[in-house]
Structure formats: structure tokens, C-alpha cells
Chains A and B, each alone.
Chain A
Amino acid sequence: MPAHTHSVSETGPEDAARPRRTFLRSAALLAASTAFLELNLAEAFAQRGATLAGGVVDLGQGDLAVLNYAYALEQLEAAFYTQVLQRPYRGFNAADEQSLTGIQSHEVAHREFFRSALGGNAIPDLQVDFGRVNFASRPSVLGTARTFEDLGVAAYNGAGQLLRNPDFLAKAGSIVSVEARHAATIRDMLNPYSAAFAGNDVVDANGLDRALVPSQVLPKVVPFVLTPVSASQLP
């Protein structure tokens, strides 16, 4: 197992920078949302859930596959930021800590939301590999973060059309804008107060962010995930 590989199941610190009341509100919302989604999952249970065959995790089909797809991406992001906070890069200042601690806590919350909502239909914990990231280097860490956040935004934007259940769409919507806030934040940390937060490399002339389908997204995460993941029944 490579040196930087670890399971993604650990839980990180809470976002100390946020006011307590906001945290409590979010926690209450999360709990309520989870219960809400679990109810609606009864409908999705009729669809085939994720399977593990020959060491390959298949995401399954239908809405469950889309939720597991999101769960996989959130696992990757949560694991990455947890490692970033465990091994702060050179020049890790208070402002960086505040932003990255917040982002890490959100990704863990997203991951736990999907894990809880999917229950027995959830894919297993993915083994990740950040061997190509230099965790001592701010540009390497933030450059990787930018890739993950922009990809996450594009993935959620492209996955919305694949969801049948409107409640799942609403939940994905409540997550994707937070991913976009992360993307802008990371980009601003790299290029402060420039146009980069929503740069012309990700936002087109119509003012549109990218939207990618799973077959476009998954190859981009393969370098960071050891567990083979297939989405054979998603576009």
C-alpha cells in the first residue's frame, strides 16, 4: 500500500471558525434531511444498488447509482482535506486554516450524509492514493484542491439531469453550491481578488459553469482512487 494511502472513514475536527449556532442549525438540518432522504430511498430500493464483484465497485443504476457516485466523490474530497489538515504545508497561515478547516468539515458532512442516507446500498469505503500530491507544498495542495472542487461542481451539475426523484435533486442542489463556494475559495487563495474565482477556464462566455457526466468525471479521479469503480449503467 503506498505511503499516502489510507481509509477515508476517520472523522475530522468540526469547523471551529463557524459560529456555534450555525453549526447547530446545520446539524439539525443534516439530521432532518437524512431522515427525509431515508424515507424516499424506499422508492429507490426497487432499483439495483451498488455491487462489489471481482474487487470492482459498481455504482449500480438509477438514482442510487447517482447518489453513490456523489458519495464516492465526497469520500475522495473528505479524505484529501483530512490529510491536508494532518500535514499542514509550508506557509499554512491562520486564514488558510480557517478556510481549509471549514471545507474539510463540509466534505465530511457531505460524505456522512450520503453514507447514512444510502445505508445498506452504500458503496464501501474507497481506498485513496494521494501519492502524487506534495503535502508540504501550498501550490501542490491547493492546486489539487482546485481540481477536486471544480470537478465536484461539474459532476453535480451534470448529475442533476440523471436524478428522477425531486427530493434527491433538491439535496444535490444544496450541496453543489457549497462545492462551488469551495472552488471559488480555493481559487481565490491561489490568486487573490482576481477573476480566477470564477475564471474563464471554468466559466464560459455564456456565464455557465461546466457540467460533466460520470463517464467524463471518473477517469479524472482514477489517479487518486485505488479501488476500481465502474459506472457501467450511468452515462
Chain B
Amino acid sequence: MIDPTPLAPVIEDAAMTASITAGTLDAPTLIETLDPDLASRLTSRRGLFTRAAGTLGALASAPTVLAVASSEAFAQGLPGQVVDVLRFALTLEYLEAEFYRTALATRGLIPARYRPVFAQLARHETAHVRLLQGALGPAAIPSPVFDFTGRGKYPDVFANFDTFTTLSSTFEDLGVAAYKGQAGNLQGTPLLTTALQVHSVEARHAAEVRRVRGYVGWDGAFDAPLTKAQVLAAAAPFLAGGV
């Protein structure tokens, strides 16, 4: 996969890997393949500087469970913007928690040597769900229904360890980018520090799963954020009730 030609082939790579099938997955993460627009934004890394560009279209496809207007939910005195952030985070944590719970309950999927890693991931994601439910109180949303096959694209997600870890890596990196992208919306509230404390745990997860898959734990010296719309576009195939 090492390409000596700078920059230009990156998007081609993304297009190529988007068509790979489960079992021949050959990249640390699938984030850049889940949504072609997302791929170009990520590879150009312009998202840091032109945040608004290109996000409105993706927002239109956000799952309805997340489209609930914040105006109806002033949980425990939280500002609507904060409620939005917490619900968004809770959705991702529901996804991760159920993903690992299902995997750990699937006999023969996770080799014994890696089981402590995924047990720890499940422990944390379940704790994050409880934490966010507690913070939201009555404004907490119920768990969406998930389709971890990504609408059939990864049918062996719980039968093939490579497929499972590829999606695990993708979800963890997505979580890191999602929390990072929301930090600004929590600035000036006590929840900022809490969100940062979750964010770095997700990054630890992301690195460890990459290592399980035989990769180094990072892409480079700086991790890029993703907007809510970008994250939802990437996660949409796994939200069964979505779009």
C-alpha cells in the first residue's frame, strides 16, 4: 500500500478501498471509505479550517433518532447545544457498547489472546453509555437499532475476526474524531473536561485495536476532528433505523 507518489493518488486509494470486500480488508480504518465525500475531506485535511464546507448535504441524511430538535430537551438545565452533543455522543457509545457486547457473546469470534483487550473496550463503552445517560437524565435517547453488517456490506462481521477488528478500528477512530469535533461546543461548560476524558480513552482504544490488527496505533502526529454531520454520514450504514 505504500505509494511513493505524493498526494494525488490518495483519493484514488480511497475509491479503490471502498470496493474491497470483507476478508480482504487492508487498511487501518474504513472511515475514509464509508462516504466518498468524507474521504476527500479527510485526505485533504481541510476540515480543520473550512468546517462548514460540504456538511449540509450529509446532515440531510442523518438518522431520525438524532434529528430530534434540541429545543424540546432542556435536560437538567443543560443548554440545548450541550444536549445535542451528549445525545450525539450517546448514540456512538450505544453503537460501540452493543458492538462489543455482541462480539464477546459470539463464540469463536475473538481469539483468547485478544479477549482481555475487547473486554476492556466493552467495559469502557458500557460505562460511557451510563455516564451520558446520567448526564442527560430525562433527555437521554433510547438506543437506536444497529445493523453491524453495514446494510449487508460486512456480512461476516461477527464471524470473521478480521472484519470485526476492521469495523472496531473504524468505530474507535470515528469516536475519537467525533468527540474532538464537539469540544468547541462544550467550551465554557464543566462537560468539556469530561468529554476530553472520554476522548482520550477512545484514542487509547483506537491505538490498541490498530495494534491488534498489526498496524502502528496512529496515522500521524495530529488527529483531525470530524463534524457531527461527517460522523453521522460515516455511521449511517450501521444505523438500521437511519436515513
Contact = CB atoms under 8 A, between A and B. Distances in A.
Interface in A170-214: 170, 173-185, 188, 193-195, 197-198, 203, 205-211
B2 A157 contact: no
B176 A21 contact: no
Interface stretch (A12-20, A44-52, A222-230): A12-20
Contacts of A146: none
A24 interface: yes
Contacts of B26: none
Nearest to B184: A166
A178 B218 contact: yes
Given A21-B9, A173-B225, A185-B216, A211 B124 contact: no
B77 to A, nearest CB: 19
Interface string B1-22: 1111111011000000000000
A53 to B, nearest CB: 32
B137 interface: no
B105 interface: no
Interface stretch (A29-37, A54-62, A130-138): A29-37
Given A109-B222, A174-B180, A178-B203, A157 B131 contact: no
B55 to A, nearest CB: 16
Contacts of A178: 203, 218, 220-223
A198 B120 CA distance: 8
B201 A209 contact: yes
B131 A207 contact: yes
A232 interface: no
Interface in B191-211: 192-194, 196-208, 211
Nearest to A205: B127
Interface residues on A, range: 35 or more
Contacts of B208: 184, 188, 197-198
B204 A170 contact: no
Tell me the dominant secondary structure on chain A's binding face: helix
Contacts of A205: 127
30 contacts: A20-B6, A21-B5, A22-B220, A25-B45, A25-B220, A26-B219, A33-B48, A98-B216, A106-B221, A109-B221, A156-B200, A169-B183, A173-B196, A174-B225, A177-B223, A178-B218, A180-B200, A181-B217, A182-B217, A185-B216, A188-B207, A188-B211, A194-B116, A197-B120, A198-B204, A206-B131, A207-B201, A208-B131, A208-B198, A211-B193
A203 B200 CA distance: 10
Contact of B222 (A29, A163, A188, A195): A29
Given A106-B220, A157-B197, A193-B117, A207 B125 contact: yes
Contact of B10 (A18, A25, A170, A177): A25
A21 B7 contact: yes
A229 B167 CA distance: 45
Contacts of A24: 6-7
A161 interface: yes
B49 A36 contact: yes
Contacts of A193: 113-114, 116-117, 212
